[in-house]
């Protein structure tokens, strides 16, 4: 069975008129009270499976952050794989937020391991091309119609406060490091881009908390999806993210973790309705100014 991550993601965005991805960062103490009873691992699994169902019309994928599973040891890895499997069964793309960044055979092992569960992975480029090339072997267009074709998102302009300490460092010519990374991403993506494809499988992480840089990164990476964390709890700019889309609403993915999974009190029996309301409000703000989404009158 073959599968192409980019094609599935693009089709889901068009169909649902949504770039939203559910971030899965399990914090048991913030789950509805009913899911805090009994076995902790079972409660987490049940909660996020229910969240996927509640948000099924609004999200195109999930982004599990592996650190929140590693806390639970071997059981946590089992939970990670189960939730990835459940997401895929629901037709959702899985972005494994693992931020791997090693080299050689170690990077090869990371790719082999994590592409078992995820359609796409976040990776760290700061050891140079040696840390990226093993992942690219899983992203090349030659895999289309022959094997599963995966994707990666390379850290470029992150959403954290100290991002500029290294990413914003400039050389003697005034060129910022994040632009050097963007240039490399563009080349890696070009190497994997299939004939006639508008977007390739090598994207960039560009924080929604950096609205002044989103237009610059869109221009630098015209054929890459941008993964834009920071909407919700971090106060990212949804309007700026929307402007980084093309006229059909493609080109960005917007993960939300706490903004969806913690938008209610733990004792609130109406938590599902609040989650839907938050998703609808976020999408309403995003859809303004997207011609392709405005033309679609049906659905949510």
Active-site hit among 15, 99, 146, 278: 99
Angle at 204 between CA 83 and CA 148, to 5 degrees: 50
Q: Which helix (H) or strand (E) holds 240?
A: helix 238-243
Query: What CA–CA distance (Å, rounded) separates 256 from 26?
Result: 13
8 A C-beta contact, residue 264 and residue 251: no
First-residue to last-residue Cα distance in the chain: 32
Sequence-separated contacts (24+) of 84-89 with Cβ below 8 Å: 84/117, 84/118, 85/117, 86/48, 86/49, 86/52, 87/52, 87/61, 87/62, 88/119
The DSSP H or E segment spanning 217 is helix 211-220
Length of the chain: 300
Tokens of 39: 């076995």
Q: How far is the CA of 110 from the CAs of 10, 73, 177, 257, in angstroms?
A: 26, 18, 25, 24
Rg of the chain over CA atoms, in angstroms? 19
Residues 6+ away with beta carbon under 8 Å from 232 = 256, 257, 258, 259, 260, 282
Q: Which residue has the tokens 């080349």?
A: 187
CB contact at 8 A, 111 and 162: no
99 is catalytic: yes
Catalytically annotated residues:
99
């Amino acid at each position: 069975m073959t599968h192409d991550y980019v094609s599935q993601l693009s089709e889901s965005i068009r169909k649902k008129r949504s770039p939203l991805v559910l971030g899965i960062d399990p914090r048991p103490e913030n789950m509805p009270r009913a899911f805090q009873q009994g076995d902790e691992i079972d409660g987490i699994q049940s909660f996020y499976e229910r969240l996927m169902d509640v948000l099924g019309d609004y999200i195109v994928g999930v982004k599990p952050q592996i650190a929140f599973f590693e806390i639970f040891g071997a059981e946590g890895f089992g939970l990670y794989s189960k939730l990835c499997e459940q997401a895929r069964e629901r037709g959702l793309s899985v972005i494994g937020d693992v931020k791997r960044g090693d080299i050689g055979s170690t990077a090869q092992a990371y790719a082999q391991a994590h592409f078992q569960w995820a359609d796409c992975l976040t990776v760290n480029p700061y050891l140079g091309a040696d840390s990226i090339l093993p992942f690219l072997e899983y992203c090349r267009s030659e895999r289309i119609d022959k094997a599963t074709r995966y994707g990666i998102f390379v850290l470029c302009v992150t959403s954290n406060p100290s991002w500029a300490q290294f990413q914003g460092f400039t050389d003697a010519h005034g060129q910022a490091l994040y632009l050097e990374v963007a240039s490399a991403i563009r080349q890696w993506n070009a190497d994997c881009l299939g004939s006639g494809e508008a977007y390739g499988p090598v994207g960039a992480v560009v924080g929604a908390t950096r609205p002044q840089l989103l237009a610059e990164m869109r221009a630098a990476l015209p054929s890459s999806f941008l993964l834009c964390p920071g909407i919700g709890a971090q106060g990212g700019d949804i309007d700026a993210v929307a402007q980084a889309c093309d006229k059909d609403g493609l080109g960005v993915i917007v993960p939300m973790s706490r903004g969806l999974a913690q938008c209610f009190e733990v004792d609130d029996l109406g938590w599902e309705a609040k989650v839907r309301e938050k998703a609808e409000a976020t999408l309403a703000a995003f859809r303004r100014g997207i011609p392709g989404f405005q033309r679609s009158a049906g659905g949510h």
